[in-house]
Each structure stands twice: as structure tokens, then as C-alpha cells.
Structure 1
């Protein structure tokens, strides 16, 4: 199907502007949190620090490195995958990075202020000095945000920060949980570093629970306040208009945490389809003086897990559909730009995901900002791959994770580690810090007993990974919600969308279907300068993606987009029964189809002899859609012109309320015999039979030679130049044991008719029979039938033998442009496609669409 169309520049501007209006500390004259950036604000704006590394490439001397960045991508240290030889080398010679940077502090930023030094992420153990003095304890853990109170460490004028970062952790629990895994391991300060300048009396943070009905509960964490201070909370909509009434909380005794409740009438609910956001303005006041002003975005929404039933958002049941995703780019590792993150979310929404599972660690905070703004549900996962964190370190990291992310409406579930890294003692820690009491999932490996030694006071969601189809069907007959959090492993052409249709139909049909997360979004290959800049996937370890390392789209991308489309057009049978009306099924959760826009287009395809490929839209018009709530089906009268049968194709385009193309469908309005005529020569040719060889026929410049023992076409030549094709037809089939070799002689006869010849073969090469019809213009037609031996087959069909290297390109009318694979037949769009013979090697070269392979619903073709 056609890709969706997003106005990316507009989206970037809207996200940045909305965040600025709501959350930028400079929009008010009140005293607000002020940031001094010591690094770039993301990977794209990184600034140089002085740097030295202890071992590996370019080690042992001071130079410079951009911050934020993973140092491997700037020529330092060694590339390390999470197991194997490079991993063993990392453990024997741990890399340590030494950073140093000068920065300036104005006197106005030091007087009567409280200053925090914030690290968004550094791998893995981090020690900090300011002006030669150690600041706080070494932070251990590479994926969570941490900060220090540095008020007493700074001076007016020039200051010096020194940071020592250990790629390995000296904490055994952190090392075993975070630094062993089936993914790349990097080192360095890879997320931003900054100072936060606050007034002495200030809001530290807030935690918000705002439900679908407008009930708001907020924990306000502050510096110690005293009698006479006051907290004022005002809620603003996306147009900065105040909704409801301000909420006042007077401080009567010294304390630093306050619970505030409020009620708002009929707020716009947040959902993945309508991501309505609000902003809470929290002011600390002393009399008429505003001591501090703090902003926090949030959404009114209610997410529920109804045990033995399913997931509900704002009272509506839904299946979670998405993929696992790492923070990753081939040439920067885990250090991402804001545009990288935006592109990731747009990519997932284009595939009609409603959920993302950032896995093995929490992503950048900005990832959830974009999910909040554009509408994508998300998990948030405690670091860990295979070995659980112990209680001490796990308790600390759960707090750091939840405190950072608690207010994002897009986050609907926590993950208490990856498979086999679940620590049940940490479940309660999630509930302690999450005011919304979102449930932490236990992720489980394929053969792991998810119910063993685990008895929470809620039902267990069955997340076991990589179920076979039979296993999934059995689990869906049980009583636990089924949500395989890794499934359909997308190694090369396998997995991804291969099998997704069958899996998804089973999930939709079950009472306890919860959803499915495909493994994984990207092929995570790094640009390895030790290998001449080649994309390195550590063999096939990281070749798991629906798309390539840079987001190169493959067949699964389009198939997933079609299977998970929230609008389904029920099948049309070409032109046979079509009367201008189509059936639409609404699979949205909150969107009525009359909120979407539909357009029909009548089109003709380009011919095989034209230089261009594709189609031409001759006439189009909009369609009025009747009231069709979610879950309902409607008949859509297209109001086509009277001569619509004269066109070759009908396209229907569906556009969401946001303006994104949900999907396009294209159907032929002519039978295959119509298109076959396009292959006939444009001029009349004289067919003749070779007098010396009764199985050779000549039509103008073309000569056909048939095998007299089998009846197959063994040679075609044009102007006495032989084309690289032979043995047409041949049966190509592979069963579960081996490929079939079908060769046998047959009974062959030639018969002359008034205007054509026929060559009939019986029992040759595995065929029951086949017949060539050669008309007076030299056009060939083949009728055939065959019966395969009993068995299970990977594929079966007819073809010919050819010298693939001699074929320069192919042009065909059919569903494309990507090939199909086993039970992945969705995703193609009917059109005339023209592809050159280029190399596309899975895991090495991403230059799709592929030239070779099996293609769906081919009507005609030229090579």
C-alpha cells in the first residue's frame, strides 16, 4: 500500500512550539527554572569537551569529543556487542572515559538560588567533580536520569567540570543486568548535561493522575515550605486558555510534599487517536509575590487492565499493536537527535501502530514527549536483559525511571525488566512512585514459566515471547490476557509481517487478546570504521528489523501497515460484482469514519511499451461518508461517473482526521484478458512455421523454439539474438523436506488451426497437461494444470529458467513493488512497477525493492 504522507516540517514546528508555549521557562515574568546547557541539547547540537580514553582506539592522550555522544562513533575505545569475543575483551580491559569542560556562571545565577547538575544518561558508572571537588556519590546505571545538588560547588565566573565514565559498571548487579545483552554496548555521556537554576523556594517536580472524567490528583514536591506560603495550580488548554478554576493550597506547617485534588468538567480526553494535551501551571506564592512558576504537560485519560478480559483506554477495549524499539542510529548509537526521535515515531504511526515498546531500558525523555503530542501509546522498561537487578539497585533505578516519566499520558504500562530479568520485589516500588498506579508487566521468555514463584495481587498478563501459532491459539483459550511482547522475529524476510495476519485474527477473535509487539523495529547495524565503514550487525545477531538500519522500508513495512489499518475495505472481486458501492469496516477505537476524508480515483495504467511506469489518474472526487462509529461497517456509495467501466482501475484513499493517509486501495476494473491484449505487438505480424523444424515458429523478428519431447518453450530470439530464457513452463516447488525435481518426457502434438497453432503436452515435467496457443501475431498463451505430490509446501508455482545476471530490469503490472514471502502476501499495491536488477542482500545491502523473489497477483510483465 502507499506510504502515509506527513508534513514533517509542520510537525517539527508544532511540537517545538507547543512545548515552548507550555513548558519553556521564559514565557512569564515569574521566577522560573533556568537551564544552562553544558552539552548540546541533543546529538545534532553536541558541543566539544576535552576527552581522553584509557584503552582501545585513540587512547592515552587528551583530545576532544562531542557531548552528547557514544565515544565508539568518534574513534575511541572498541565496538562491543553484548556477548561474544568483543564482550570478553571489554571485560578484560574496561574502558574509562575522562571528560573536562569549562563553563561560566553569572553572579545572578548564584545568589539566592538552588542549582542542580543534571545528567540525562551516561554509560555506565559516572563520577563528577566541580572545581576539583567530588560531587556526590558515583552514579551507577547507564539509562536513567540523575542529578546532584551543586549549589555549594559553583563559583561566579569560570568553573571546571570533570566527569569520569566507566563503560563497565563496578556494581555487579548493574553490570550483569545492563551490560550483558543481545544488542550493542556503548560508553560515554550520550544524553544531555545541564544546570538547573531554581529559586531557593521552588517546585522540584509534580506527579499527576488525571482521569477521563476530569478528576485530577497531583502530588507537588517542593523545597521545604513554611506557614504563609501558598501553592496555586491553574490548568491551561492547548490555546493557553484557563479551564476550570485555579486550585489554592495554603501551607500551614513546614513540609515539602502536597496532595492536591481538583475536578474539571468534560475535558478533552487524551488518546492515541486524539492526543489532547493540557498544561498545569504550578505557582509558589508568598502573599502577592510569585516565588517560583513551574509547568507540566499532561492528558486526561484512563488506562485499565481488566483481569481476564483485556486493556481499556477511556472505557474502550483495544489491542496493543506495535514493535520493540531501541534508541539507535547506525552512526551515533544510543545518542539521538530530536529529529531522529520524531522520525522514529512517525515511522511507527505510518505503519498504523498504536503502541511502542521501548525495550531493555527507558528511551530519551523526548521520545515520550513526541508520543504524547502525536498520539502513540508506550511501555517504559526498567533496564535489564536477562539477569534481574537486586533489590537495592533496582529500587533506586525504578525510582529514577518513574520520577522522570510519571506524567506522560502516552505511558500506559511499566515493564519490570526484560525476559528473565524480572524481580518481583520491585513491583511495589513502581506503585510507590507512580501516582497513577500503572501496572508493571513481567516479561517472560518463550519457554519460561511466567506463573512460577510469582503471585501478585493482580492477574498476570501473559507476555511470553515468540509463541508459535498453535501455542498462541492455546493461550488465547485461557483466562489470562495474552500480550506477546516479542513475537514474529523479523530476521530478514522471516517474521515481521510473515504470519502477522493469522496471529492478529486470532488475537482479535479471543476474549483475552491483548495485543502483540513485533521484534523489532530496526536492523541495528552500526557503521563500523574497523571494517571500512561497513554496516556491522554482528553476523545476524542484530538483523531483526522490520526496516533497515536507516529506516529502509521492506515488504513487511507495507504488509503491517495494511494488516493494522484502522480502516478495512472489504474485498472487491475485480469488475464482476462491483456496482459502485464498497463496504468499509471501522477498526478505530475513538474515530467515526465520518471524521475521515475519502476520495475515489479512476485510473489507467501505463502500457508495457511506454517509457514510464505507474498509472494516470483521469478523474477523481471526494466521498461523503455516513455515520460509522468504531466497530461498525458501512456501505459507501462512490457516485462514480456513468462511464466508470471504461477505466482500468479504481483507487480509494482514506485520510485520517489529522490529515495522514491511512491507506490506499487499488482494484482492477478490467479482466485479465483486457491487460493481456497490451502485450500484443502494435503492428500485425505474419506467423509462419519453420519447414525444417515443426517445433519452431517465426513472427516477424521473433523466433520461438519448443522442445519436441516436452512441449516447453526452450528458446526465444529476436533478430537472431537469443534471450536468456528457457524451459517455460517449469514447476518450481519446495516442500518441508526438500525441493522437488520434476522432469519427465511427455506426449507432444502440434495442430494448425485457421488463425493459430496449438502445441499440446501431456504428462511432461510434472504437469498433467499444458497447451501453447500461438496466434497470428506471434503472441503466446499458455494454459496449464498440474497436481503436486501430497505434502506440505513452502511454495509452489510455474516459471522458467533464466540467466539472472543477463536481465537488466523488469516491468510488470501487479501488486508491488516488494516481493511476498511465505504467508506474507499483504502490503502490495496494484500498479505498473519498473525495477532495475540491483543487488539486495539481507543484512548487508538495503537497496529495495528486491528484484528477485515471488511477487503477488502479477497480471503481465516484461523483462
Structure 2
């Protein structure tokens, strides 16, 4: 058996460098804290398990059912036992599925630990940060206390009387995966997430002196006023409680306050005028050192890391923190990792928060249970508002269990400044009678909300149609922030539709932001299926990022839309004079100390850019909500550039977003890129043969169908290119009515087609040097609604190796998700990623789909390179139709044009899990086309050249 050594001791608040935190800092600070923890009469822990999932300790273990049933072996603690080959995997909906085996196994743990002789006479507690679900604890064969019910909560026992001091002691823990209390199962186990078993959070001892704190609850406000409720294990005469506030290095004291102990519950207050308030933009933290002092002798000392901030809910107005009205830019987050379930490491927590901050989020909702204490400590230090949730997916705890788990949540998490709201369950997961216990235990009196209800002065309605509601939502009088919206199944939702929703929200003075569903795909490693990643059909692939945090296209859309520094729309061209309007979307911070970095680039060829000039500009004191003109110092060579890039950085140097714009028009760019003035003059051969027009020009041979004007064959020096069967109009019904051909005075051959509808007319031209050109009329339709509109061609997918292009990238787009891609040169190898599904080979950016703002592309194939240059602005291109996941709902199966490669005036949108794109705002609706006789609409103009295979393939 493994024995826990005393070197496992750790203080509850390891020394951390804030506000910018790196994971390596944790390791260093934890190591330093080992010596601090030995100081007499200071709070410390002795870990019996690992401190997190990355540093587990092996315990003896047996499970009574499922895999490895009845076999004693070893298991890491903390962990979920399914991930280590024990028991049964279950998703929460399995209780309603007769085809699934519902695992209800019990796990049995044994562990030996050493107890020092000099602990005798002290109080020794054993604390479990989380075990699923009903947990019974024995020490040396005796029960430590009553069974704890609830899988997401801290619980503990005073085991002083059960220990053998100076000897080895035996710990036995029995964990039942399903509870004997039906309401616990309904709240936690019959839910829309993976159901696990085991001791998945740390287990530790607290060795405390004769008199000590049982609870410290703080209420530090933004004006520097401070109060605390202190619960002692017993009172003591001639003794007082003293609180002193320090900076995190303990180099500066901001003063102290003290009060006499006259009972076992003591209130203490004071004022600390020189502190700085906490908010997500400036997460200022302090150490509040609580001491029990008897005649100048410190009997016990415990440090709470705190932030001074004030939370208010103002009815018919909004949620205010430190007197500023909050707009939540948030996301829901499961405590989850594919290879460890709900047992997480500091690195897991840090990675999630850093990704949220990269998306310019300022808030996170705990779905659907309280998180690890370390996650909240990182939210405190890095700066995120937190909605902390007592479990209850769509059913709530009864009035026996509810008060206990509410108390456990508030006692554990109430001192974190990041926690500004309590969620009482989710979507029906509550008993209203239990709400009183939040107010009973929380001295800060934070708002208590009910996700999906109008209640307690806020409206949190989930998954509503755009522009819905009578006296609510965007039309309401009640502060509105949906705690779930934009359900991100596969590639739908999230970024798709967000701009429409966000624009609509911000029109209403009571709009309070919202929380996207959900942060990451919850696909678990199935140790019973050779490591397959399983998202349980369409129940769990809802993330902005993949299970291992792979970034989908919506990641960058959210980053763009929620950037706190915004550039107002303007026209970029060679006449740009450097004037921009900068908007400050922060809540608390001016833009003093923020900067813009700009650079000017030339594009000589695919995949290449040359920097011509660059510079930086520090922003002036632009206050939150203000918009001000700034001027970029445009260099003399600006007109020679192709791309202008602009990056915004906050005062810490963190990149908020990088925009880029094309400077040249597609036509001007094409004239240089194609070098058309140097086209060689040669002879051309033409003949009609069985309804085909055969044209030979230089090294090229083309065949065109004289019935429909389509390109049927391309050949270069005997090498056939399988690019053919186009143009075919897509998006509207249109038939070819007439095809003619002619040779012009320069010897070039034109093939013209007339259509019954769009594009009215198209014409191929084969130049004497073999260059191929297509010109098609613009979209002159009358009151016809279209999902997409353009021209398509065929090319066998299996022959494609990759693509390089000049345009917006690198991710694909939808009509309702155009932000998050920027102009430049891009390239990607062929992949067949099915977003949120191809977990065996999840490659982002996806190859297939729509891409915007086409200037030029190079399709790399087994047969050679196909170079295509566009000369009209605003064009899209499509590379094949993305495959739909087998469990896709109708909303995330977009309408797509026929054909393999398409050039389009308009593209389709995508919906979300619960509705089609038409429910998500104007950009998700079909486009009504309008025209009038005499209009000259921009058409499709493309230049094609077919070349030998690139050497770098």
C-alpha cells in the first residue's frame, strides 16, 4: 500500500504571480509553498491524493460491477474510474434508453496514511473536494460521519477521535455512482452530460490548533469597506480576531482591523481606502490575513485571497459591478477533459481560461455544477466574471439535499471575487423553496438567478428566435442576458448568427449580454472502445473548440465581434488616408496604454508576402463607450501595397484582434498578377466534332459542349485535367437557350451561352497562348429568394492535394458567419474534416466549404495546378460540400450548391441545433433578389491557367 508523506502539505492559497499567470509559475510557487506550510499555527493541508489530475496518488481500488468488477487493483486519485478501465460509461440520457446498460456500480477505495504523534490534541479534518456520488468514509474501520450525497461538492469530517497518532492509519471510502436519493439522481445523473464515478477531486487533511476558524466569509466592496463573518470552532476569552490586508508579495500592508471574540460567530469590519477594486479588466487581488490573537500571541492564522468589488442587481436596468453596468460576453463551460473526465489539472483550467480570454470573453457560466476551487482562483487572477451554479440539469434537489449542497457551494466559493451570481439549477433544476439558503449563507447577498426564467429581476431565456418576445428579450423591460444561446452543434451556432444577435441586443438599454453554449466538445476517451472519442451522437459536440481545444472557425468570429477595441467600418483602397474611428467597448478601462500595430504588405505570388512598412501607435485616453478618430501614418509606398494589417493590443500586450484589408481592387491586382500585357501571340486551331467545339491553343486543348456551353475537357501537352462540366448555374432554375461561337480579329475564340435566367449570358474566351477566360453576367433576378447564387464546376475530390489562395481566410465562412477571417495569402492541405465529428483526424481549418473575398486561387492536384484569378469584387468560392455528421439536426444541414468547385455571388447560411438559420437573424434568411431593367450588376470574371504539378507537392 502507498503511504502519504508529509511532503504533500500545501497551503490553500499558493503564492501566485498576478495578474498575468503562466502555468510554470504554479509549479515554482507550489514548491516554494512547501516550506511556508510548515510554519506553526498557519493553515495548511496534507494531501492524501494528488493535488490535481496531473499529480495523482495511487490508492487501492475495486468496483463491484462493470469492467474489472471484483478485482482489487490500483487507481490514481483523483480520477474518474471509467477512464481507467473500471465500471460502465454512461451519458446522462441513458436512463431513458432501453438499449443502454445503466451502470450503477459502487467503488471501494483503500489508502494508508501516516499521522504524526504531535497532532494529538489538535483538530484533524479529512476533506473531499468532490466524489461521485454517495460517499461513505471510514477511518480505521469506523465511520467518519453520515454519508454525503451529491457529486459536485466539498464535504469533510472531523476525524480527530478516529486516528492512531504516531502510526499508520487506514482510510476506506465507498463511492456509489448513483444516489439512494432520487432527487440527487434527477439533478445530477439524469442530465445532458457524461456521468462518471469516483473520487475525482483532491482529498486532504487539515491539521488545526485547539482554536481555529471553521469558516471565513468576506464581503470586501469596491469603496474599500470590508466586513467578514468568522465562524470559530469555539470562543475564547481575552482573544480577538485581527484582519490585515496585504499585497500579494506581502511587502505592503494596507492596514488592519480587529474585534474581540465574544462568541463562536464573530463579525468584523473595517475600511481600506487605498485599495484598487477588482474587475475582469483589472483583476486586483489582495491577501486578507485572519489571525486569532491571545494577548499578542498568534494562536492561528489563515489567509484568504480576496478582491474588493460590489455587485448590484438594479431592476429594469441591469447588473452592476463597481457601479458599472455589465455586458456579459460569456460562454458555458463543463469541467471536462476527454482523457480524464471531470478530474482536471491546473493546466487544464489555465488552458480553458486563456482560450476564453483570447476570444475576448469576460465571463463564464459553470454548467451545470460548481467547479474546482483552482478554476475559480484562476478566474480571480486572470479576470473573468463567474456565474456559479448549483447542480440541477432540469430537475432539482429536494428540500433535504438542496440546503446541504447550497451550503457546501457557498461556503467553498463565496470568497472568490470572480463569483458574482449564483445560478439555482438549470432549466427547471430547482425547488424554489431552497433559494432561501443562498441568502442565508452568502453575506454578500449576490443575485440568485434561474437560467431560462424571468425571475428575481432578470430574464435569462434560452434558445429564442431572433426578434422574439412580448415585453421580454430584445423588446423587454427586464435586464436580459440569456444564460444559453447560439447552441453550437457541429459548425452551427456560435459565430453563425452572433453578429445579428449581438447587434440586436445592444439596441436595447436593458441588454446585459449572454452566454454561448458551449465552450468545448465534450467527447470522452472510451477505454472500452480502444480509445475512441465519443460525443454520444449529437448530445455533446457543441463546442467552439474541439475536445482537445482545437479551434473551429467560430473561435475567431467570437474573437472579432467581442473585441473590446473595435474599428468602425470604412472603405479601404489606394486612396486611404490613414483615418480610422476606434471604439472602446471595455466596461472599466480607457484605451490609455493600448496600442495599434500596422503593417503594409505586397503579394508577389501565392503563399508569399513582402513587408513594405510597419509601425505602431499608442492610443489616447478613449473612455469606455467612446469613439474617436485616430490617424495611421500612411507611408509613401502605400499605393504599392496589397494588404494592410492592423493589430490591437491591450495594456498588457495581449493581442485582441488582427484585421487585414485588401488595398488593390481585384481587377487592379489581377492586371499585375496575371501580367496580361505580356501574353504571347500564337496560332489557334478550332473544329466542331460531334456537338463539341475543340480548340487547340499553344500547349492547351479545350472541348466545349455546343448544347450548353459547358467546358468538357482540358488537356495540357497530353495531360488531362479533370476540371469540367461548367459553368452550371446554381441557386436558381436556369436553362441554356442558345450557344454560339466565333473567332475575334486577334484569333481568340469565344463561346457564348444565353440562359433563361441567371446569368442571362456567359462567355468563354480561349486566347492564342492557351489562357482561358470566363465572363458571366451579374445577378439580375426579380423578387426571387435565393440561398446561394453562382456557377459550379466539377473536379474529382480524390485528385485534390491542397489549395493556396489570395482572399479571406484561413477558415471557411457562412453567410451568417463572415467575421473572423481576414485578407491575405493562405494555404491548406486537403482534409475531409467533419466539424465537431472527425475526432480521429480533426484538422482545422476545414478544407471544404465557402471562402470569401476571392482574388486568386491555386488548386493543387495530382494532374497539375489550376490557377484561377477573379477580377470582380465580393466573390466567394466553394471547395466541395462539407459532409454532414450522421447525427446532424436539420438546422445544421445547410443548403449547398451542386458541383465540386463554385464561384458565387451569394452563399448559404447555417443554423443551430434547435432551428434553421432563418430563425437566427437577417443574415440567416434567404436573400430576396431585386433588379430593374438597365441595371449593370457585377458579374463573374475568371482567368484560368493549367500548369504542371508544383515542385513542393
**TM-score, structure 2 normalization:** 0.84
In the TM superposition, what is the alpha-carbon distance from 1:732 to its structure 2 partner? Answer: 2.4
RMSD after superposition: 2.4
**1:712-731 → structure 2 map (5 Å cutoff):** 712-731=710-729
**Does structure 2 conserve the Cα–Cα contact (< 8 Å) formed by 1:402 and 1:433?**
yes
**1:618-629 → structure 2 map (5 Å cutoff):** 618-629=612-623
SS at match of 2:521: coil
Task: Say whether residues 1:793 and 2:786 are aligned partners.
Answer: yes
Which deviations, in whole Å up to 9, do the C-alpha atoms of 1:424-446 show, x marking residues without a partner?
112221111111100111112xx
Distance 1:629-1:281 versus aligned 2 partners, 3 A rule: same
SS at match of 2:440: helix
Task: Say whether residues 1:173 and 2:183 are aligned partners.
Answer: yes
Of 464-473 and 170-179, the range deviating more from structure 2: 464-473
**1:585-596 → structure 2 map (5 Å cutoff):** 585-596=583-594
**Does structure 2 conserve the Cα–Cα contact (< 8 Å) formed by 1:493 and 1:821?**
no
SS at match of 1:556: helix
Aligned to 1:857: 853
Whole-angstrom CA distance in 1 between matches of 2:605 and 2:148:
66
In the TM superposition, what is the alpha-carbon distance from 1:789 to its structure 2 partner? Answer: 6.8
SS at match of 2:506: helix
Aligned to 1:803: 796
SS at match of 1:568: strand
Aligned to 1:195: 205
Whole-angstrom CA distance in 2 between matches of 1:214 and 1:398:
28
Whole-angstrom CA distance in 2 between matches of 1:423 and 1:792:
48
Aligned to 2:468: 471
Aligned to 1:538: 536
SS at match of 1:819: coil
**Does structure 1 conserve the Cα–Cα contact (< 8 Å) formed by 2:759 and 2:776?**
no
Whole-angstrom CA distance in 2 between matches of 1:327 and 1:37:
22
In the TM superposition, what is the alpha-carbon distance from 1:687 to its structure 2 partner? Answer: 4.6
**Does structure 1 conserve the Cα–Cα contact (< 8 Å) formed by 2:63 and 2:86?**
yes
**1:279-678 → structure 2 map (5 Å cutoff):** 279-444=287-452, 450=453, 458-459=456-457, 461-471=458-468, 475-575=473-573, 577-608=575-606, 613-677=607-671, 678=673
**1:62-73 → structure 2 map (5 Å cutoff):** 62-73=72-83
In the TM superposition, what is the alpha-carbon distance from 1:779 to its structure 2 partner? Answer: 4.7
Which deviations, in whole Å up to 9, do the C-alpha atoms of 1:369-406 show, x marking residues without a partner?
00000001111001111111111211111000011000
Aligned to 1:767: 759
Aligned to 1:3: none
Whole-angstrom CA distance in 1 between matches of 2:799 and 2:351:
39
**Does structure 1 conserve the Cα–Cα contact (< 8 Å) formed by 2:757 and 2:781?**
no
Structure 1 unmatched ranges of 5 or more: 1-6, 445-449, 734-739
SS at match of 2:23: helix
Aligned to 1:711: 709
**Does structure 1 conserve the Cα–Cα contact (< 8 Å) formed by 2:338 and 2:533?**
yes
Whole-angstrom CA distance in 2 between matches of 1:24 and 1:163:
27
Whole-angstrom CA distance in 2 between matches of 1:534 and 1:13:
31
Whole-angstrom CA distance in 2 between matches of 1:472 and 1:861:
45
Whole-angstrom CA distance in 2 between matches of 1:606 and 1:48:
59
**TM-score, structure 1 normalization:** 0.92
Aligned to 1:121: 130
In the TM superposition, what is the alpha-carbon distance from 1:83 to its structure 2 partner? Answer: 1.5
In the TM superposition, what is the alpha-carbon distance from 1:8 to its structure 2 partner? Answer: 13
Of 645-654 and 157-166, the range deviating more from structure 2: 645-654
- Alignment equivalent of 1:784, drawn from 777, 793, 796: 777
Whole-angstrom CA distance in 1 between matches of 2:489 and 2:100:
27
Whole-angstrom CA distance in 2 between matches of 1:174 and 1:260:
37
Distance 1:118-1:104 versus aligned 2 partners, 3 A rule: same
In the TM superposition, what is the alpha-carbon distance from 1:577 to its structure 2 partner? Answer: 4.6
Aligned to 1:750: 742
Which deviations, in whole Å up to 9, do the C-alpha atoms of 1:661-720 show, x marking residues without a partner?
000111112121233242458974445432324944444323333332333333322222
In the TM superposition, what is the alpha-carbon distance from 1:627 to its structure 2 partner? Answer: 2.2
In the TM superposition, what is the alpha-carbon distance from 1:751 to its structure 2 partner? Answer: 4.5
Whole-angstrom CA distance in 1 between matches of 2:155 and 2:448:
22
Of 525-534 and 693-702, the range deviating more from structure 2: 693-702
Whole-angstrom CA distance in 2 between matches of 1:314 and 1:423:
31
Aligned to 2:3: none
Task: Say whether residues 1:816 and 2:812 are aligned partners.
Answer: no
SS at match of 2:218: strand
In the TM superposition, what is the alpha-carbon distance from 1:136 to its structure 2 partner? Answer: 0.2
Distance 1:60-1:792 versus aligned 2 partners, 3 A rule: farther
In the TM superposition, what is the alpha-carbon distance from 1:545 to its structure 2 partner? Answer: 1.1
Of 787-796 and 421-430, the range deviating more from structure 2: 787-796
Aligned to 1:737: none
In the TM superposition, what is the alpha-carbon distance from 1:626 to its structure 2 partner? Answer: 2.4
Which deviations, in whole Å up to 9, do the C-alpha atoms of 1:574-606 show, x marking residues without a partner?
315511222211111122222212211111235
In the TM superposition, what is the alpha-carbon distance from 1:172 to its structure 2 partner? Answer: 1.3
In the TM superposition, what is the alpha-carbon distance from 1:199 to its structure 2 partner? Answer: 0.8
**Does structure 2 conserve the Cα–Cα contact (< 8 Å) formed by 1:570 and 1:584?**
yes
In the TM superposition, what is the alpha-carbon distance from 1:727 to its structure 2 partner? Answer: 2.9
